[in-house]
Structure 1
């Protein structure tokens, strides 16, 4: 399983439209679309879980593609770097 990071999404993006877009490349296991708390509009990014070979095909085909007037960036999500919080 690979988690994809999708950035540059238009405000009008919905979970359904993202599922339809990525389903061309395989089964979408889950989608987490960041939404504005008050308006409910897309905040421009999402995380999508797909199987490895399907995720790589989606990255190759969709990275840089235009979606409703916005160029989207699709890549493999990387773990965050930073200080781990150690209990004292």
Structure 2
């Protein structure tokens, strides 16, 4: 299942996101979206978790969690 993580602080790293989601199950892929010109975070990421139950658990536990002083939003990706 592919999850979209939004409202990330600009200083949140891909490794921090991977660690957050790994606490709830297997993370197949984690991609922090970066601005091509500046190399800085655009404030969102995609996390792929192969197990539906683990993805559901991660979504339930991390949606509206406070990470780096930002309340993140997690939902299933449309693509």
Work out whether the TM-score is over 0.5. yes
Q: What do you get for the CA RMSD once the two structures are aligned?
A: 1.0
Q: What 5-or-longer segments of structure 2 have no aligned partner?
A: none
TM-score computed with the length of structure 1 as normaliser: 0.83
Aligned residue number for residue 84 of structure 1: none
Larger C-alpha radius of gyration, 1 or 2? 1
Aligned residue number for residue 86 of structure 1: none
Any residues of structure 2 matched to 1:1-88 within 5 Å, and which?
Answer: 2-50=1-49, 51-79=51-79
Deviation of residue 16 (structure 1)? 0.7
Give the paired residue count: 78
CA displacement, residues 33-75 of structure 1 (integer Å, 9 cap, x when unaligned): 1012233221111111002111000000000111111110001
Q: What 5-or-longer segments of structure 1 have no aligned partner?
A: 80-88
